Every structure is written in structure tokens, then in C-alpha cells.
Amino acid sequence: MKKVPFFQSLPGIALAATLLLALPFVAALGGQAWVRILDFAILYVFLALGLNIVVGLAGLLDLGYVAFYAVGAYTWALLASPHFGLHWPIWAILPIGAGLACFAGVLLGSPTLKLRGDYLAIVTLGFGEIVRIFLNNLNAPINITNGPQGITLIDPVSFGAFKFSGVTQILGVSVSGPQKYYFLLIALAILVIIVNVRLQNSRIGRAWQAIREDEVAAKAIGINTRNLKLLAFAMGASFGGVAGGIFSAMQGFVSPESFSLIESIMILAMVVLGGMGHIPGVILGAVLLTVLPELLRYSVGPLQMAVFGKMLVDPESLRMLVFGLALVLVMRFKPAGLWPSPERQRELQETGK
């Protein structure tokens, strides 16, 4: 009889659910800032899983993924703020944001079908920068995005009279806005993970992996590589659009500066560090690269004071130095990522790496 892993058994699922439910209240003991960090960690899980479809499954290097994040964020900002006087509900805006991001993914994918590797990376990088500059300058002659000043007073997520901003008393317990967003994000994350798992194990997912391994061989056995590449860009972009919409609602403000190249690089680093093509590994990479920098931000300064009695190096600079060094060491000793797929682990064992 095949042994079921603990976290796939009923007791394991119950324990994981209990930990997830308790986590925002435990984090709140250190301040609401830590709950917001958890919220952003889940948002980056959305983004990393979307990019994993393009990079991890289809093998298409994308350095402009943040553009789809921006499309989703600005869709929410324009349809749920005083900027145009529109205040649409979440069930209308999120599908529109995902659809527009999906369309943007097809626009990016169409001219890059014959590109791979470095050439594809350069084109996608340029696409991401074009979108950011476009948003930055679309305030004249008609003010659509409010340019570099961004859009403010964006509506939070709400269901009827229940809003996810501010403190709410639920069964006698005070639940803050970040904590309410945490539970919404967890629910969406479960849905996103289920979709990703079903996609990866479907015929489409297998076809993407065939294209990643050898596009010529995939085409020879009858796989329509053109349509499947476009589908990878479209599906990955839609997750970015959903994440952008929630980001806009959480922040209450968006500007083009939130969607710079460094964001695309960080999301790609999450996928590579966790383990490309492996959903649990990608989730691990997203959580680590969101939480670890913040842990270093809050610990580097006090640690210097405790050891040396004074601040020798600027905490922000030292934080990024330690963070970068950690990434280099991980990629040196774990080139397939912290949690590679079983297939990748077997390949490494066979090659002796």
C-alpha cells in the first residue's frame, strides 16, 4: 500500500489549515507591518506561479512580467476610484483586469514566437519598460493614468457593506484590514494553486514541458507550438492581472514606479530559486524572497548595535549585500533550486551533480 505524505493526509491538511488561520494573528504580535508582509508574500506567490507557467513549464524567458501586474493594478485603479468617478465591484473588475492582462500577454507573445533565450529576454524586458513609460506619460492630452503622480483614493475590496479596510469586530475579535486581506488572499491562492496543478498535469502542461525540453521534437510529434506558446503567455499574464488588482485595492494608491524592472527580476528570482516548473518550490521561493529581506531589514541594524555598539554600515546596503550573497550561495550549491521537481532531482542524481 502506497504511503500518503503527511500533509496530503487528513491530519496533515487539518494542521496546515490551523497554522494558516493562526498565522496573521501571530504575526500581528510583532505589529501590523508583519501581517502586510504576509499579504505581499501571497501576492508574490500569485506572480511567481504565473511566471512559472511561462518560464518553468514552457521554457520562455520573460523579463517583462511586471507589465501584466501593472495592467491589473491600473484596471482596478481606473474602475474603482474617484479618478473617473467609477466604483465597480470586485466581481466585475478582477475578471476585466485578468482579461486585459491576458490580452497583453498575447500581444507580447505574438511577435516573439520565433525568439528564444537572450533575444526573448531582451524583447520582454523592453515590453515591460514600454508599459511602465506608457503609464507614466498617459496624462496628456487626456489624463487617463495621472502620470507619475499616480492614482489615489482607490476603493478597497468590499462585498456589500463589508469592507476589507479598517478594523472590524468579528465574533468579538478585532480583525484589522491587513488580516482581512490575508484571508481573502489565502482563498484566492488556494484557487490559483489548484488551477496551476491541473494545468501542469493536463495535456497542455505536458505539451508545454515538451516545448521546453526540445521545441523541434515537440513540433515533429504534432504539437502546435505557436498556439501553446501564446497560451502560456496569456495564462501566465492573467495571474499577474489578478495580483495587480488586489495590490491596487490593498495599497489604495498606484504609480508607475511600483512596476520597475527590478520587480520582474525579483519574480524571476523567486521561480529560479524555488525550483522552476515545480509548484511547491515556486511557492517556497516567493515566500522566502518576500519575507527574508524584511527580516534582514529589521535585524541587521540592531545586530550591529549589539555587537559593535554603533552602526558601521547602512542597514539597507548591508541587508541587500547579505541577501545577494545568500542567493549566490544557494545557486552555487543548489543549481536546480531549493525544492526542485522529482524529475529534476533524478536528472541531477544521474548526472552526478
The pLDDT tens digits of the residues spanning 246-256 come to 999 999 999 99
In-domain check, residue 178: yes
Under a CB-based contact definition with an 8 Å cutoff, are residues 101 and 72 in contact?
yes
In-domain check, residue 323: no
The pLDDT of residue 351 is above 80 = no
pLDDT score at 140? 84
The stretch 81-96 carries a mean pLDDT of 93
Domain count across the chain = 1
Secondary structure element (H or E) that encloses residue 170, with its range: strand 168-170
The pLDDT of residue 1 is above 60 = no
In-domain check, residue 60: yes
Q: What is the pLDDT of residues 5-39, one digit of tens each?
A: 655 667 778 888 899 999 999 999 988 999 999 99
In-domain check, residue 306: no
Distance CA(353)–CA(347), nearest Å, equals 9
In-domain check, residue 55: yes
The stretch 171-177 carries a mean pLDDT of 87
Distance CA(321)–CA(293), nearest Å, equals 10
Work out the pLDDT band at 3, boundaries 50, 70, 90: low
In-domain check, residue 16: no
In-domain check, residue 325: no
Work out the pLDDT band at 295, boundaries 50, 70, 90: confident
Pairing state of beta strands 173-175 and 168-170? antiparallel
Distance CA(292)–CA(295), nearest Å, equals 5
In-domain check, residue 341: no
What is the 3-class SS of 55-117, one letter each residue? HHHCCCCCCCCHHHHHHHHHHHHHHEECCCCEECCHHHHHHHHHHHHHHHHHHHHHHHCCCCH
Mean pLDDT of the chain: 89
Q: Give the domain extent around 153.
A: 22-260
